[in-house]
Amino acid sequence: MASVLKKQLEQLLSTGNHTYLKGVLHGIEKEGLRVDRTGELSQSDHPIGLGSALTNGTITTDYSESLLEFITPVFEKPEDALSHLENLHRFSYQHLDEELIWGGSMPCHIKNEAAVPIAHFGTSNVGQLKHIYRVGLEHRYGKMMQTIAGIHYNFSLPDDFWRALQTLQKNTDSLQSFRSASYFRLIRNFRRNSWLLLYLFGASPALCDSFLKGKKHQLETLHEHTLYLPYATSLRMSDLGYSNKAQASLSICFNHLNTYISSLHRAIHTSYAAYEAIGTKVDGQYKQLNTSILQIENEYYSDIRPKRVAQPGEKPLHALHQRGVEYIEVRNTDINPFLPIGMDIQQAKFLDAFLISCLLMSDDEIGITECDMISDNLEKVVTRGREPGLTLETLDGPVSLIEAGNNILAQVQMTAVMLDTLHQGADYQNAVTAQHSKLDDVSLTPSAQVLSALKESGLNHTEWLLQKSAEHKQTFNQSTLPEDIQKDFTQQAQASLAEQNAIEASDTLDFDQYLAAYLAS
């Protein structure tokens, strides 16, 4: 893989086509629970001052009414996306009264599942669809899963870059086909190497025991009400988080766009016995949208997704089929509780270098054996990633995590040199150097730092994260929003409320008819 990457980087540099990488686009989606001052999950509705969760494109809710989701616009500079995310937090705090935005991925203390309010989106058909989809998730997986939070990093490359790369690779397909195939190449290499991101940035080695109340598990007790694994990196990404036996049968390893689409299409249209037992509409109330393996595309969980912005009323799979992959969404990023918005610019720049490296590595497909290895390695790293002497499986035999990590970083370093040449600085190489330090000294990883802080503080998981969340609120409140940004966010919120009212007033079908038409489309 290193020789393939080296050759492609040299070609880009020698032809000057690396300059098109200045047009890389970034967007960030970040979730955060609303909690009260005691660290309990908020029971209040989504604040009206933040607009409509249905139609506000920058501040909405995810699965739970208490789970805020911030969505930045697309920016060329990752710094600008992170700055916008900070501003969304500042604006939101103006409307949260005494509430806090939870500073970690694993949730606060939750008394029971009944204390998790499912998000609601008004009375329109599309609003009811979104709500019932979430009701279906409750019946399929339970409500606790809906309280886990993370960061999604959206990444795309400009068409000028794709045209240049297509010429260098002597590819004669349509630009759309080449771009989609290349994004899938990136995705395959990401999946081979993404365990490293969990080691480097995983920040959820512990959780509140209320999350697993009444369930069997293998976790140990750290403090009263705090469970952990001593070498875990990201329990959020383990099978304690979002796991689905029905989805495991899909075996999607992202070799081609058409097989990816057909696999998801089949799952959306294949009934599953366990979900048939739940029922769809029971005693006049919907329990789920349908009894298929997946209710809709978004239910399929993966640490990375190919994406395309859909047109109004268009399904995501149709958009991908018609117009190809537009960007990729990296979904395995934990919220770092030591950082006010959960990540920083060094991590973003490392991700850029990592993703570009994955694009320019080998184009080999993933076979069944390697697919299983990838899953096994991920499970090892999320639960035991900092264990001394841990080995991972490869097609060439077992290799130590440290050696495998250094091999990947050596490749990302080559990309970082090119990016620093392009941007006339040293930020990308410095970001790689910082990750080398975590392989040399495991205590520098966020997961190790979280456990160290928990032990030193004597606080349980909820108490410690409540303290960190309060510190972050204080950081945001130390500066005020510029007047133009304040005005823009306020206008967006007000306009979204009017838009929701208009949608509700324009519905002509009853929901049963609407759902039947939606599922048949």
Q: Give the Cα separation of 174 and 360 in Å (integer).
A: 19
Q: Of 337, 333, 445, which Cα lies nearest the Cα of 386?
A: 445
pLDDT score, position 1: 58
Least confidently predicted of 123-137, 240-254, 271-285: 240-254
pLDDT digits (tens, 9 = 90+) for 45-103: 999 999 999 999 999 999 999 999 999 999 999 999 999 999 999 999 999 999 999 99
**What is the widest separation between alpha-carbon atoms in the chain?**
68
Query: Mean of the pLDDT values across residues 421-430?
Result: 97
Contacts of 449 (CB under 8 A, 6+ apart): 338, 443
Is 242 a residue whose pLDDT tops 60? no
Query: Mean of the pLDDT values across residues 195-210?
Result: 98
Is 243 a residue whose pLDDT tops 60? no
Is 387 a residue whose pLDDT tops 80? yes
**Backbone angles phi and psi of 342, in degrees to 5:** 95, -15
What are the DSSP calls for 363-374, one per residue?
-PPP-HHHHHHH
Is 241 a residue whose pLDDT tops 80? no
| 467 residue type, one letter | Q
Residue 75 exposed, middle or buried by CB count within 10 Å (0-12, 13-18, 19+): middle
Residue 244 pLDDT level (bands cut at 50, 70, 90): low
CA dihedral of residues 348, 352, 355, 360 (deg, nearest 10): -170
Query: Mean of the pLDDT values across residues 404-412?
Result: 98
What are the DSSP calls for 488-499, one per residue?
HHHHHHHHHHHH
Buried b (16+ CB within 10 A) or exposed e, 22-53: eebbbbbbbbbbbbbeebebbeeebbeebbbb
pLDDT digits (tens, 9 = 90+) for 288-305: 999 999 999 999 989 999
- Provide the β-strand partners of residue 34: 101
pLDDT digits (tens, 9 = 90+) for 307-334: 999 998 889 999 999 999 999 999 999 9
Q: Residue 403's Cα: distance from chain center in Å?
A: 27
**Coil, strand or helix: which one is 386?**
coil
Contacts of 138 (CB under 8 A, 6+ apart): 113, 118, 146
Q: For the chain, give the mean pLDDT.
A: 95
pLDDT score, position 219: 97
What's the CATH fold of domain 2-520? Creatine Kinase; Chain A, domain 2 (3.30.590)
| CB 291 within 8 Å of CB 276 | yes
Is 370 a residue whose pLDDT tops 80? yes
Is 285 a residue whose pLDDT tops 90? yes
| CB 419 within 8 Å of CB 357 | no
pLDDT score, position 223: 87
pLDDT digits (tens, 9 = 90+) for 169-189: 999 999 999 999 999 999 999
Query: Mean of the pLDDT values across residues 199-208?
Result: 98
pLDDT score, position 22: 95
Q: Give the Cα separation of 463 and 457 in Å (integer).
A: 10
| CB 389 within 8 Å of CB 398 | no
Is 38 a residue whose pLDDT tops 80? yes
Is 2 a residue whose pLDDT tops 90? no
pLDDT score, position 188: 96
| CB 101 within 8 Å of CB 34 | yes
- State the pTM of this model: 0.97
pLDDT score, position 512: 97
| CB 27 within 8 Å of CB 81 | yes
Query: Mean of the pLDDT values across residues 366-370?
Result: 92
Residue of 249 and 48 predicted with greater confidence: 48
| 144 residue type, one letter | M
How distant, in Å, are the alpha carbons of 55, 153, 264, 436 from that of 501?
Answer: 10, 31, 33, 52
pLDDT digits (tens, 9 = 90+) for 454-508: 999 999 999 999 999 999 999 999 999 999 999 999 999 999 999 999 999 999 9
User: How far does the chain reach from its first CA to its final CA, in angstroms?
Assistant: 42
Query: Mean of the pLDDT values across residues 356-385?
Result: 95
Is 233 a residue whose pLDDT tops 80? yes
**Coil, strand or helix: which one is 45?**
coil
Q: Give the Cα separation of 322 and 337 in Å (integer).
A: 40
What are the DSSP calls for 399-414, one per residue?
EEHHHHHHHHHHHHHH
Is 221 a residue whose pLDDT tops 90? yes
**Backbone angles phi and psi of 283, in degrees to 5:** 55, 40
Residue of 243 and 400 predicted with greater confidence: 400
pLDDT score, position 249: 67
Other beta carbons less than 10 A from residue 82's beta carbon? 23
pLDDT score, position 65: 97
Is 246 a residue whose pLDDT tops 90? no
Q: Give the Cα separation of 155 and 305 in Å (integer).
A: 11
In the DSSP assignment, the letter for residue 209 is G
| CB 50 within 8 Å of CB 181 | no
pLDDT cut 90: percent of the chain above it: 92
Q: Give the Cα separation of 347 and 432 in Å (integer).
A: 9
Residue 258 exposed, middle or buried by CB count within 10 Å (0-12, 13-18, 19+): exposed
